[in-house]
Amino acid sequence: MEDFNLQAHLDQCYSSYPGAVRQPVIGITSNYEGTDVTLRDRYYKQVIAAGGTPVIIPPVSDNNVLANTLSHIDGLLLSGGGDYNPLWCGEEPSPRLKNINAERDLPELMITRLAYNRQIPMLGICRGMQTLAMALGGRVEQDIPLPTVKHSQDADKSEPTHRISLEKGSELYSLYGKDVVFVNSFHHQAVADPGQHFHATAKAADGTIEAMESSEFKSIMGVQWHPEWMENGLPLFRWLVRQAGNFHNAKRLHDRILTLDTHCDTPMFFPQNIHFDRRDPRILVDLHKMTEGRLDAVVMAAYLPQPRLGEQFSQKVAFDVDSPLVYTDLIFDKIEEIVRNNSPYVSIARTPADLYEDKRKGRKSIVLGIENGLALNHDITNVEHFSRRGVTYITLCHNGDNDICDSCRGCSTHNGVSQFGEKVIQAMNDNGIMVDLSHAGEKSFYDALEISRTPIVCSHSNCRSLCDHPRNLTDQQMKLLAAHGGVVHVTLYKGFLQKNGEASINDVMAHLEHAIQTMGIDHVGLGTDFDGDGGVCGLADSSELINFTLQLLKRKYSERDIEKIWGGNWLRVMSQVQCAAH
């Protein structure tokens, strides 16, 4: 008997503290029929059964509406429905094309691309799987060519009508724990090519792709059948809700802590009319990507390539100048111009207090660094000049010996740090500029540790015991650096992560965890080297940096430890160095 006592239902709602149980919010794209927005009840009932809170997303292509929608959800469910207009992918309509739904196409393609850029977990069902492919570079077959399996269903929607084979090692296989799953079938279109962002993880007997998953370590999956009707469909919805919950936790963590990337080379592209205020595909760090990846701050280094013997400096840089000092100042002038033009959203931070103030006010921070002490132009007074400009660290050398020290790729010109280099380090101590030993040779490294009165940093270096490369640090170097209070920030350049093949986010985590085991949690962090050849699968640009946090949470690091890794350790050293200055 139905209970029609309204007060009894309300009392049940108020029986516990309303904030006690927080459920991930799952946005579900809706269908459009004539003047009605519709959705089969099975979608939202399965989300509820999986422990999520469903909200229905109408087919709207307004930029602000989409952006605001995505900011309030933790996961996205792309529902089934009619065919896509093939003109969206540059194809003419096949005679076997069925009913298209023009009202849905653009809104769903847009929201999928935007959700992908924001790392929001997604599950695509039937048309939704095709949405993922069309929005992200794959290709959809308008009608399955010469099928040998019936891909339509006369039976009840909950009745399995054909089998699919699952790829071992896939997320789908881990959910079902078997090679074959029986599913229903309501489609004549199918994904012909998943594209570079996905790989097929299930197929029908005739080779039709029945499921695909992210090939970039992202929580994105598409299935061609309709699991919302199936008894065995709940694991897929639980997977989406679980991933959405993890994503929500990472977002909230980023709200509470300061996130700092300690090295990118993006400024060397600024002379090329880069649009830092847009999502510019030519660079890996811009305001949009920082916002999507929930990155608060980045150290932008003025990078100076080291000329070889007989080369002029002007031959190696964008500006037609012979003076490294002038070139470096021009780079900083360009950064300051960009900041002035976007002052409501970004500022230059010179101290830890500046960084925390920017976060409190909702601004991004740019911190200034120099990569290669060549910028000093062999004049010790320029250390003070760059201190006044707000430079927080100077990487003593790059790929080649300079007048300060020997590089790890040099010729042992000075047998370590030169006499001039010793004065430079002392002047950096006096002026509150951190000494950065990334790129330095081993003898230079040990010399600098003896000379410097303050802790030393390596803004973008990895572990030599995991990848034997001269740019990486030995365990002995890392232990001694930690003993002197310094920090090492692992970097994303594939050649420093593994010797052969492509690197991924898993390699980054392996180097980070080795550094933690060797040095302790108080001496590690992340310096991406974006736009300086840094970037790996899973951490390809600044928009993907929240994936780093997801990996830390997956490995059960505490919030305090994650805060240290994400910049707290670096800011401790930065504060010590600045406080010790004259």
**Residues designated as active site:** 126, 226, 228
Task: For residues 190 and 169, give the distance between their C-alpha atoms in angstroms, rounded to a whole number.
Answer: 23
Task: For residues 81 and 236, give the distance between their C-alpha atoms in angstroms, rounded to a whole number.
Answer: 19
Two tokens, residue 401: 């010996």
525, 570 Cβ separation under 8 angstroms: yes
DSSP 307-369: PPTT--GGGGSSS--S-HHHHHHHHHHHHHHHHHHTTTTEEE--SHHHHHHHHHTT-EEEEEE
Q: How many CA atoms lie less than 13 Å away from 51 in the CB half-sphere?
A: 14
> Kind of pairing, strands 391-395 and 364-371?
parallel
First to last CA, the chain: 81
Neighbour tally for 17: CB within 10 Å:
7
Two tokens, residue 371: 């990569």
- Closest Cα partner for 137 from 194, 210, 76? 194
Return the bridge partners of 303, or none. Answer: 371
Residue carrying the six token digits 């739904």 = 101
Two tokens, residue 359: 């976060």
Task: For residues 389 and 336, give the distance between their C-alpha atoms in angstroms, rounded to a whole number.
Answer: 10
Q: Catalogue the E-assigned strands of 376-486.
A: 391-395, 434-436, 457-458
445, 437 Cβ separation under 8 angstroms: yes
Element (H, E) at 526: strand 524-526
User: What backbone phi and psi angles, to 5 degrees, belong to 418?
Assistant: -75, 170
What is residue 398's DSSP assignment? B
281, 246 Cβ separation under 8 angstroms: no
DSSP 231-300: GGGHHHHHHHHHHHHHHHHHHHHHHHS--EEEEE-GGGGGGGT--TTS--TT-S--HHHHHHTT--EEEE
CA distances in angstroms from 440 to 511, 529, 533, 550, listed in the order given? 19, 16, 18, 32
3-state secondary structure of 100: strand
158, 230 Cβ separation under 8 angstroms: yes
